[in-house]
Amino acid sequence: MKVWQVGGSLILLMLSGCLDQKTYHSVDLNASLECPSGPECTTGSIEPPAQGNPYALAYIEVDDQGVFWDREQLERVKTYTQSLTRKQNTLIYVYVHGWQHNANPKDSNVEQFRQHLASLSTQLPEKDWSVLGIYVGWRGRSVTLPLLEYSTFWDRQSAAKRVADGSLVELFSYLNVLKQQSITDTRVITLGHSFGGAIVFSAINKILAQELVDSSNNSSFDASAKGLGDLTVLINPAFDALKYAHFHDMQDRYNHFFGGQKPILAIFTSESDWATRYAFPIGNALTRSFEAKRYMKTRVGHESVLVNQSSAGRIAIGHFEPYRTHSLTPAFADRQEHLTRLQSARYSMKQWEQGLSVIQFSSADLKRRPGLKARVPYLVVKVDQRLIPDHNDFSGQAFQSFLQDFVTMSLIN
C-alpha cells in the first residue's frame, strides 16, 4: 500500500472516531422553565426536584472557543436561582468536568455528579434547603477511539485555555454577586476536575485574589478571608504551578487567620495521576521552551527559597513540591461510622479551628506540612493513590466520603 493510502486511511480512521462539536441540552424557548425530572430531561431547561431526586439540575454548555452554546441556558439559571433564593436557603453546586468527558446525559461524570448531589441533599446542616446543581459542559472528549483518545490531551488542553477565558467568567461572577446580595442563606460550592480544574482556577483567580485583599488590613485580617462563594475544590487540575505563584506569595504576606476561617480553595492531586505528572509537563516543555524565565524568591513556611520559573511553568500545581501544603491519606478504619455526615463534619471542623496538624475525617486524614501556619484557607494537597488511583478515577468510596465531609464542613455556620 502506498504511503498516501496509509495516511488517508489513518485520517479517515481518526475522523470516524471524532465527536462533533455540539450541544446536548438545547433550549426550547417555547417550553416552560422546568422540564420533566429524570435523566431523560435533555432540553437544557432546569430539571426540578422530584421524588427520589431531592435536587434540581441545570446544564450550561460552551463551545471550543469558550462561548455559550445557547445563552438562554445561563438566563434560565439566573431566573431560577433568583426565584429560589428569594424564597428559601439554597445550595448551588457547580461542577466543571475535565478531559474525556462532556455534557452527554449518559456521561459517567453526569451520573457521578447526580449521586453526589443526592447524597449531599440529605446531609445539609439545616432543614428546608433547596439544592441546585449546575453541570458545566464543554468538549473535553473529542475522540471515541480507544487508542486515539489519549492523544487528545494536549489539544483539549488548548481548548480548556480558551474556555477559561470565555463566557464562564460571567457565570462565576454572577454567582458571587448572587451570594453577596441574597436575602436568604445562599451557598456556592464549585468543583472542577482535570482541565475543568484549570478552567475554574483561570476563571476565578482574580476573584480569589480580590477577596483576599479586601478581607485584610496591614497584613492582618479584619474578617475571615473569602473566595468564590463558600468553597472551590479542584481535583487533579491540569494547570502549571507558575499560574499559582502570585497567589502563593499573596497569602504568605498575611500573618494571621481567624479560628473560624474555613477552607476557601482546595487542590487535590493524586500522587499517581499520570496525566498531570507526565503528559502535562511534556506538553509545556515543548510549547514554553523559548519563554524568558528566572528564579523567584518566595517562602515555604518559615524558610525563604528560590523557585525556578522554568520548573514551575512546566510542572502541574499538584506535583510542585514548594507549594504543597498538606497530604491526604486513608484512615485506618471508618473511625466515625457511628456519626452522621453532619456530625462527622463538625468533628473535623473543630480540629481545623483548633489548628491541629492532622485533621481527622471519616475516611481520611488531612496532614499539614510541618512549618506552615494553621488554618490557611488555600490548600494544595498530595493525595495517596489508595484514595485517588489515577487521573480520572476519583469516585472511590473513601475519597467521596472525605469529599462530602469536606464540603459539608464548609457549610457549617
Q: Using CA atoms, how far apart are residues 88 and 118, in angstroms rounded to an integer? A: 19
Per-residue pLDDT at 13? 40
C-alpha cell at 51: 421524588
Contact between 261 and 255 (Cβ < 8 Å): no
pLDDT (average), residues 5-31: 57
Provide the grid cell at 302: 518559615
Count helices and strands (H / E) in the chain.
12, 14
Other Cβ atoms closer than 10 A to 68: 19
Written as nine digits, the cell of 131 is 439544592
Q: Which residue has the higher pLDDT, 32 or 84?
A: 84
Domain boundaries, the chain: 46-411
The answer to whether 73 touches 59, Cβ cutoff 8 Å, is yes
**Residue 333: pLDDT above 90?**
no
Report the half-sphere exposure of 39 (CA within 13 A, side-chain side).
Answer: 12
> Which whole number is the average pLDDT over 150-175?
87
The two beta strands, 364-368 and 358-360, are antiparallel
For the stretch 186-213, pLDDT in tens is: 999 999 999 999 999 999 988 888 888 7
Q: State the cell numbers at 409.
A: 464542613
* Confidence class for position 15, pLDDT limits 50, 70, 90: very low
Confidence of residue 249 (pLDDT cuts 50, 70, 90): confident
Q: What is the pLDDT of residue 370?
A: 93
Would you state the cell numbers that stand for residue 5, as one nine-digit string?
493510502
What Cα–Cα distance (Å) separates residue 38 from each residue in 41, 139, 292, 305, 340? Answer: 6, 23, 52, 53, 28
Closest CA to 318 of 134, 192, 208, 226: 192
Average pLDDT over residues 305-323: 92
Helix (H) or strand (E) holding 360: strand 358-360
Grid cell at residue 182? 441574597
Pull the grid cell for residue 241.
504551578
Q: Which is higher by pLDDT, 277 or 211?
A: 277
Q: Are 392 and 329 in contact (CB under 8 A)?
A: no
Determine the pLDDT at residue 143: 75
Q: What is the pLDDT of residues 370-410, one digit of tens each?
A: 988 899 899 999 999 999 999 989 999 999 999 999 999 99
Phi, psi of 123 (to 5 degrees): -120, 20
pLDDT per residue as tens digits for the range 226-243: 888 999 999 999 999 999
Tell me the C-alpha distance between 246 and 249, whole Å: 5
User: What is the average pLDDT across 136-153?
Assistant: 78
Residue 288 vs residue 368, higher pLDDT: 368
Task: Please report the pLDDT score of residue 213 as a whole number.
Answer: 79
The pLDDT score that the predictor gives to residue 62 is: 94
Nearest to 315 by CA among 238, 399, 221: 238
CA geometry: angle at 320 spanning 316 and 326, to 5°? 115
All three cell numbers of 331:
484512615
| 137 close to 100: Cβ distance less than 8 angstroms | no
pLDDT score at 254: 66
- Give the contacts of 236 (CB within 8 A, at least 6 positions apart): 98, 193, 194, 197, 268, 269, 270, 273, 275, 276, 318, 388, 391, 392, 394
Per-residue pLDDT for 260 more than 90? no
Rounding to the nearest 10 degrees, give the CA dihedral for residues 149, 155, 159, 161. Answer: 120
pLDDT-derived band at 266 (thresholds 50, 70, 90) equals very high
Query: What torsion, rounded to 10 degrees, do the Cα atoms 320, 322, 323, 329 define?
Result: 70
Has residue 177 got a pLDDT over 90?
A: yes
